[in-house]
Amino acid sequence: MKTFDPKNEAGHYIAPQGLYERNKSKPFLGSITANRREIIAGEWTELILTYEVGASGLADGAWLKLAFKFYSDWALFQTSDPAGANYISAEYHAGELVAGQSPATVQSLKVRFDQKGHERPFQKTVIVDIVDGYLNPGDRITIRLGDRRQGGPGTRVQSFVEKDFQFRLFIDPLGSSKFAEVPGDVLLDIVPGEPSTLQVVTPRLVNREEPFDIIVRADDAWGNTCRNLPLTGLLKLHGPNDAVQDLPFTLAEQGWAIVRHSNIKLNQPGEWTIVAQVQDSPATAAKAYVNISAEAGTLRPLYADLHVHSDDTVGTNDTLYNLSYGRDVAGLDVLGYTANDFNITEQRWDKAVELIHNLNEPGKFVCYPGTEWCGNSCAGGDRNIVFLRDSKPLFPFDHHGRLVRSFEWNEFTHGTLKPGAWPVDDLYAAYAHDPEGHLMMSHVGGRRCNLDWHHPELERLIEVSSAWGQFHWVYAEALQRGYRVGAAANSDEHQGRCGGGVPATAVFGSRGGLTGVLAKQFDREGVAKALRARHTFATTGERSFASLSQGAHLMGDAYPLDETIPLQYQLLGDQGWEEISLYDGDQVIWMRNLHEELGFANNRIRIRLGGARIKDRYRGAYWTGEIQITGALINDFTAFGLDHPEQVCWRENATTLGFRTDTNGDSDSIELQVSTLRGCKITLKSRIDSYIKVGDPLEPQPYVHAPTVVLELDGDTLLNNQTIAKELPGAELKVSIERITDQALPRDVSGKIDLPSLHLATHREHPLFITARQRDQSRIWTSALFLY
């Protein structure tokens, strides 16, 4: 197409000398650059981004949006305290003028931060308003994230690694609130920090003569696996009767700092302790346990994460990275990739499915494709579909050619939203013809599932824990409604660390979960049968183990009630079991308190905080408070369940501790050793704040239904009552002060429960399941036995 030629076509006119040529040489929408290309996950820094205005200029009343993806846990920015952390600023710098050109008239820039200031996935937004005037092409706007010039410490960057983290700039050049994307995102590589801890990944229970693998890896302080770190070390295996094996290792020189010892056989039954240590490194040693069963010829419990995202939709790093991490770093046996159904393009879906089929390896790594149906809660809420067969999945169209997405919208559809299978009734209709080829899981994430809907043949499991939090209540409610669903826990990982996951500091504030699978064969068909049979248990990310059975019936089975045979249970953990509860739907009908069985100490107590504010998104309860002891000294204290470096507990003086943490359905605890309980007074005071979705991050937003909590009691009352608890309005929101033992809690607990002692009512079905808690506040749930 012929271009305009003002010199020859416009005739005589007046214009600034050379400005036409200079503007034509510039990108029309401008360009953006940064002073860094690589940053360390979780570090404090000042990041400077510079936008050079393009040929379009910026009109009076225009504004800019510097956006990044909503799942990032980069610390929230603030504009009210220039000397505080995470302060952001924006400055105007005039460009050179040519002869005859007038300077820009802009008076100032106004900067603010909005967590939902733009379209998904680029929702978190630094907004810069142009105040009282316009900008010329070539002018610059400098945005400082973590401005340190007035004494602030900078900004705490995203805590998890990501290749090509994106800042995307959108500008409104005409002041019409119609935004255009500036070509060329700012890309940052967020890399791991120095090694802080080792991790040992191993099965918790292995049958005699069955080989298994042990993975050792080095992680930084935020739980990111280090890279290119060939540390040498020793793996020590201590077994019954003083059996010992030493396995030297060297972490990989290239790529993830991991090593896998394969095909290990430990023929001596009993518990083995595995300790990993490295030389010439500050990384702390790691310990794990594996029980060798006296049984032979059966398959060990498998560990699955059936809910993993990638950058195909709203995850971190590409699909190969995430699947490889699950297999090689997290040591998963089973992985389910799930794409947000409305968001993934058909081309990316086909490529992901091909990759999954190529990675699937019977006997080593079972991999399934899947989608996440993202309907609003009023239409059924989130449901995952795992495609269990080897054939091409029915997505994005079913076998009738009907669209089976909830709706179709992504960053390439330019705002057009096309409705599809909505409400969830349509989703059931798409897959009900082949229930054995599909597994649906209701779950609580952003859009929580609505249990007004349920399909008994498709929905066989329900997700009780994920990176969003712990949701005992949704499992109990489903069972109480009479739904035969088993327990599952997965990561719902958006941050590239599936297989248990590591908590971030934003809405994904809990450890991701794992689903234990009792399968008869280690391939797609065998695992699928076990999943649909509900032969599962759910953990909060640990390789713990739980079973509940009655005679030949496994958890997940439905069968007639027989009170002559007792229930049998077994729990294997790593931190010591403290509490075991048997539920009938949503009611506790039997309990063991291991602290009480071992004997309460007269000088040890525990403060426990737990639950969530609400059942929907942004559910976190943010606790800031102190524990005061009057009439006794705090001799020692230890915090458990704190998920990342910004959840902390500290000593203020000899009788006072301070704490700051958040819970998302999980529990955090602080154990205290005091000089005496008799005659002392214990006071817990805490503010409870909401997640700061809108507003100044430096201004707390009190939880309206319980902005503060105070719990006071004297030590003599606690000596007599063992536990004092206060239920708060919310989703299992609770504080308690409890007596605890000073004895070591058991890692291996088993027993029998006689059914007549439970006094089960006749003429109705009883969904019986066990949930148990360890000292570090990790949890496990079995699928229910359905007795009718």
pLDDT per position as a tens digit, 319-363 = 999 999 999 999 999 999 999 999 999 999 999 999 999 999 999
Kindly report, residue by residue over 675-694, the tens digit of the pLDDT. Answer: 999 999 999 999 999 998 88
Mean per-residue pLDDT of the chain: 95
Distance CA 384, CA 227 (A): 33
Kindly report, residue by residue over 430-470, the tens digit of the pLDDT. Answer: 999 999 999 999 999 889 999 999 999 999 999 999 999 99
Q: How confident is the model at residue 303 (pLDDT cuts 50, 70, 90)?
A: very high
Distance CA 569, CA 558 (A): 17
For the ranges 108-122, 567-581, 589-603, the lowest mean pLDDT is seen at 108-122
Q: What angle do CA 76, 728, 783 make, to 5 degrees?
A: 90
Q: Is 403's pLDDT higher than 80?
A: yes
Calculate mean pLDDT across residues 4-32. 93
pLDDT of residue 415: 66
Q: Give the range with max mean pLDDT: 2-16, 368-382, 408-422.
A: 368-382
Residue linked to tokens 């239920």: 727
% of the chain with per-residue pLDDT over 90: 92
Calculate mean pLDDT across residues 272-298. 94
The DSSP symbol for 328 reads: I
Residue linked to tokens 């066990």: 770
Q: How confident is the model at residue 296 (pLDDT cuts 50, 70, 90)?
A: confident
pLDDT of residue 654: 97
Calculate mean pLDDT across residues 396-408. 94
Rg (CA), the chain: 29
pLDDT of residue 3: 87
Calculate mean pLDDT across residues 554-575. 97
The DSSP symbol for 414 reads: T
Quickly list H helices, 505-627. 524-532, 594-598
Quickly list H helices, 469-550. 472-480, 524-532
CA 738 to chain centre: 29
Q: Which residues pair with 735 in a beta bridge?
A: 609, 726
pLDDT of residue 580: 98
Strands (E), 118-161: 124-131, 140-145, 155-156
Calculate mean pLDDT across residues 617-631. 96
Q: How confident is the model at residue 317 (pLDDT cuts 50, 70, 90)?
A: very high
Kindly report, residue by residue over 407-420, the tens digit of the pLDDT. Answer: 988 766 666 788 89
pLDDT of residue 411: 66
Residue 293: partners with Cβ closer than 8 Å, 6 or more residues away: 205, 206, 207, 208, 269
pLDDT of residue 414: 65
Q: Is 188's pLDDT higher than 70?
A: yes
Kindly report, residue by residue over 639-684, the tens digit of the pLDDT. Answer: 999 999 999 999 999 999 999 999 999 999 999 999 999 999 999 9
Between 442 and 510, residue with greater pLDDT: 442
Q: Which residues pair with 306 in a beta bridge?
A: none
Residue 763: partners with Cβ closer than 8 Å, 6 or more residues away: none
Residue 176: partners with Cβ closer than 8 Å, 6 or more residues away: none
Q: Is 59's pLDDT higher than 90?
A: yes
pLDDT of residue 186: 98
